[in-house]
Structure 1
């Protein structure tokens, strides 16, 4: 299905006296919009790190209610029994507010500034996803507190965050890509393996969250072990998912690297694949070390950070296996990028 045309068609011109020229990033998105989109991705990953800090310090109920921190008080209340838990939890909530502002600014810039204003409505809709996701996360966070950190809701909180990392990564790729018909660069076999890889990434991250909920870092010091599961058994299941993901990734990386000889447009996909290999190895090593050393909080947070990077890199790899051929560059976009 072809992309919807811009609401207000922009005149185009051919450059260099020949055929269509592939536009540069500045022809497609303003520098300010681009960097706000980058900030959105950084904040989406950052909220996972601060959420990890909440979990490993047992600060999930540092604020006793929602949307206020304490009954009648938006911020933590200072008194002789006030602990650091309240400030860690409130800090995480504050970052959610910052992320909401960034996501709102991104929507305004994509919708109201050139050249993205004249680009397809599908791109405009994609820019809305982070803002909607932040609003959803605020509600889920409130439900998490009101249900005393039920592990299913805590897990959902993490899954939505990882999903927003994926969407925000894809948005960056899409902002820097022309609006022409996409062309798949992989043969059906490799494309099928890539779909398996994405599915395994989802299984791997879901099991990783279950492992955390079954261990001593569920987010609340009073009830550290939330899931009634054998931590060692669920850790082994998670490890097997990591092994399967790694095996498929190695095969996909080999096939993409080999195919690049006949398809130079796969250059970005090769870079993304090898980046994902490095992140996967780093995550595996971190997991082994944290398991062998009794799950120190710092390593748990690092593992969550790497998981966010793995999700982003997997999305980058998926998006890089599709090419959008060169097209005429809008005159308005060229004028804006040269100024």
Structure 2
């Protein structure tokens, strides 16, 4: 069937390296949008644009009366188009590469629809006056985008054959537990923010009615659990002589978690200065990405599944 992408695929044949770079650009932008979203909150610009999808009831762009807060909020909205452009490049590169790997284009489209859904959630965030629960969902959805972007980037270095484990299955299950705990750690961080400092606007914003110190303690407990599981993975993977890439990724996660822990404690005992919170949000995205890469290093995927051997060629037992 004739489609614009099919027409482009007839004329452009990007290399595997180009597809991988395009997927990496989408991943980088998914992390950048988390950081710029944090900048909106930390500069109290969450209501810089007073409505959605317009910036004001009469204007798509901010007006001079809205000041710097309107500019910051509108700039973050415009960066969504840059993110979409990076995702489009990755998706088109995957579609036009030879051979065409539908699994990669599906991951590209998944990223696009995640961006669209999160744009709607962002609009609801503004329309609800920065409701902290909606803000938390907005952040979790952004981390979902990072998840799919990591998967697409990693899949560009693999084939589409059936995954083959490189370690005993219990180690794969340990990696899944580690990813789950890190995911809970990130989610708990959004609740701590929703109950504590930096509501996102200088106006009176409703906060989560849970004791801030208790939420921070639960967040710290999940951090200690994440570090403990990561240390266990370091020793176990070394003991079974797991692939070098897997051991390196676990060490990377440990380093990022320890840095995040230091940032978190400094942030807590210094009343959450903006620069520390911003670095902590960037670290959250990097920690999540580092955890997601570990299970993917414990398996291999050939280009294609081996062809079945005809029954007449199978030796009798």
TM-score (norm 2): 0.88
- Give 3-state SS (helix, strand or coil) of 1:177's partner: coil
Displacement of 1:29 in angstroms is 4.9
Instruction: Kindly indicate whether residue 80 of structure 2 is the aligned counterpart of residue 96 of structure 1.
Output: yes
Q: What residue in structure 2 maps to residue 294 of structure 1?
A: 271
Q: What residue in structure 1 maps to residue 7 of structure 2?
A: none
Instruction: Kindly indicate whether residue 307 of structure 2 is the aligned counterpart of residue 324 of structure 1.
Output: no
Deviations 1:304-337 (A, max 9, x none): 0000001111111111111124769xxxxxxxxx
CA contact (8 A) 1:110 1:116 kept: no
1:278 to 217, 239, 255: 255
2:128 to 136, 147, 153: 147
- Give 3-state SS (helix, strand or coil) of 1:233's partner: helix
What is the rounded CA distance, in whole Å, between the counterparts of 2:236 and 2:250 in structure 1? 10
What is the rounded CA distance, in whole Å, between the counterparts of 1:270 and 1:88 in structure 2? 41
What is the rounded CA distance, in whole Å, between the counterparts of 2:234 and 2:228 in structure 1? 10
Structure 2: where are the runs of 5+ without partners?
1-12, 306-317
CA contact (8 A) 1:29 1:175 kept: no
Higher relative contact order (CA 8 A, sep 6+): 1
Q: What residue in structure 2 maps to residue 32 of structure 1?
A: 18
What is the rounded CA distance, in whole Å, between the counterparts of 1:286 and 1:200 in structure 2? 19
Matches within 5 A, 1:104-253: 104-111=88-95, 113-117=96-100, 119=101, 121-223=102-204, 226-253=207-234
CA contact (8 A) 2:19 2:156 kept: no
Structure 1: where are the runs of 5+ without partners?
1-26, 329-339
2:288 to 311, 321, 330: 311
What is the rounded CA distance, in whole Å, between the counterparts of 1:116 and 1:76 in structure 2? 46
Displacement of 1:122 in angstroms is 2.6
TM-score (norm 1): 0.82
CA contact (8 A) 2:14 2:93 kept: no
What is the rounded CA distance, in whole Å, between the counterparts of 2:92 and 2:302 in structure 1? 28
Displacement of 1:107 in angstroms is 1.7
Give the 3 Å change call, closer, same or farther, for CA 54–129 of structure 1 in structure 2: same
What is the rounded CA distance, in whole Å, between the counterparts of 2:37 and 2:18 in structure 1? 28
Displacement of 1:207 in angstroms is 0.5
Displacement of 1:93 in angstroms is 0.4
